Structure 1
Amino acid sequence: MSRATLAACCLAAGPVAAQGGAVYRCPGKTGGADEFTNMLSAEEARARGCRTIDGAPITIVQGGRPRGAATAGNGASAGAGAASSAPRASDAKVDPAAQRQRDTDARRILEAELRREEERLAQLRRDYNNGEPERRGDERNYQKYLDRTAELKAAVTRSESDVAAIKRELAKIAP
């Protein structure tokens, strides 16, 4: 931040609020803008090459709440305000028969996914062979074998957690 920018910020901010402790001006990283802070100890400031700012008024500018895109003054704010007070589609009541149908569909999809994931887990466990997978011809280097074993173990663990997650989701759906 240049001195001119800092001065402009100080003048535009209005009231001055004093902070306890020294305020340091530290050089910016890789030639960037200088950093002003009062969050350093004297030792940290010396280590970073910071200088104290003596006698300079300190101004704290309170940030305002960011405005939403609809209230940016483009005329759409009145329409957006009315739309936000109306109930959303997810708040509306759903017909019980339609909800049962959705639950049935979700259960069917999750059960199919569970079957596929359990089959995949069984195949991974066969390949992993309790930590001693069968060595392949392209694994003359022992490290390649160890790497594949580690990958298989990670895949088994990941697949087990996927199966557990699908079972939890199935438990949430009413039968």
Structure 2
Amino acid sequence: MNRLLSGLLLFIGVHAYAHAQAEVYLCVDDNGKKEYKNTGAVKGCKKVDLQGITVLPAPTPPAAGKKPQGKPASSPSDFPKVDDSTQKARDSDRKQILMDELKTEEQKLANIKKEYNNGEPERRGDERNFAKYQERTNLMKEDISRTEKNIEALKREIANAK
């Protein structure tokens, strides 16, 4: 008896859920605001026909130790190819750009360190307040750290360049 009752309740619940999902109404109020509802008992509601959802099973993964069948992915035949000399020229240009950036960052670091003066930069006329002086000193210290990190990153990129 309990099985029959629980089965009947389950059937009613699924049927009610499916029924609720099947009917959707678009309701527009006096201000023009649109709302989607599952009942159309309110004035200004029209039933919306929704397409059903199509469910496709996921492809099964290959068994462990077995290679997937088919040929590996490759670029399409009309995909533009670059000849070796063009690629070498591009790589050379890239390396030169990185070298120029490195030189600029190193010059920037030298200037900031010179102005920083080992943590005691010269005070400006607008820095009568010691807090302003400390703030500028801290900003300079952060600039030095950031520039050093940029230099390290550029050196890594240059080392990775062909």
* Alpha-carbon shift at residue 115 of structure 1 (Å): 0.7
Structure that is richer in helix per residue: 1
Unmatched runs of 5 consecutive residues or more in structure 1: 1-6, 15-63, 66-84
Q: How does 1:1-175 map to 2 (within 5 A)?
A: 11-12=17-18, 87=75, 93-174=81-162
Q: Distance in 2 between matches of 1:88 and 1:130?
A: 58
- TM-score by length of structure 1 reads 0.49
Q: 1:152 to 1:100 in 2, by over 3 A?
A: same
Q: Distance in 1 between matches of 2:149 and 2:140?
A: 14
Q: 1:123 to 1:11 in 2, by over 3 A?
A: same
- TM-score by length of structure 2 reads 0.52
The equivalent residue for 2:69 is none
Q: In angstroms, what is the RMSD of aligned CA positions?
A: 3.0
Letter in 2 for 1:97: S
Which aligned segments of 4 or more residues in structure 1 are displaced greater than 4 angstroms? none
State the secondary structure of the residue aligned to 1:111: helix
Q: Distance in 2 between matches of 1:124 and 1:13?
A: 71
Letter in 2 for 1:119: Q
Q: Distance in 1 between matches of 2:138 and 2:19?
A: 59
* Alpha-carbon shift at residue 12 of structure 1 (Å): 3.6
* Alpha-carbon shift at residue 120 of structure 1 (Å): 0.4
> Aligned residues: percent identity?
43
Letter in 2 for 1:120: K
* Alpha-carbon shift at residue 94 of structure 1 (Å): 3.1
Q: 1:146 to 1:88 in 2, by over 3 A?
A: farther
Q: Distance in 2 between matches of 1:88 and 1:158?
A: 43
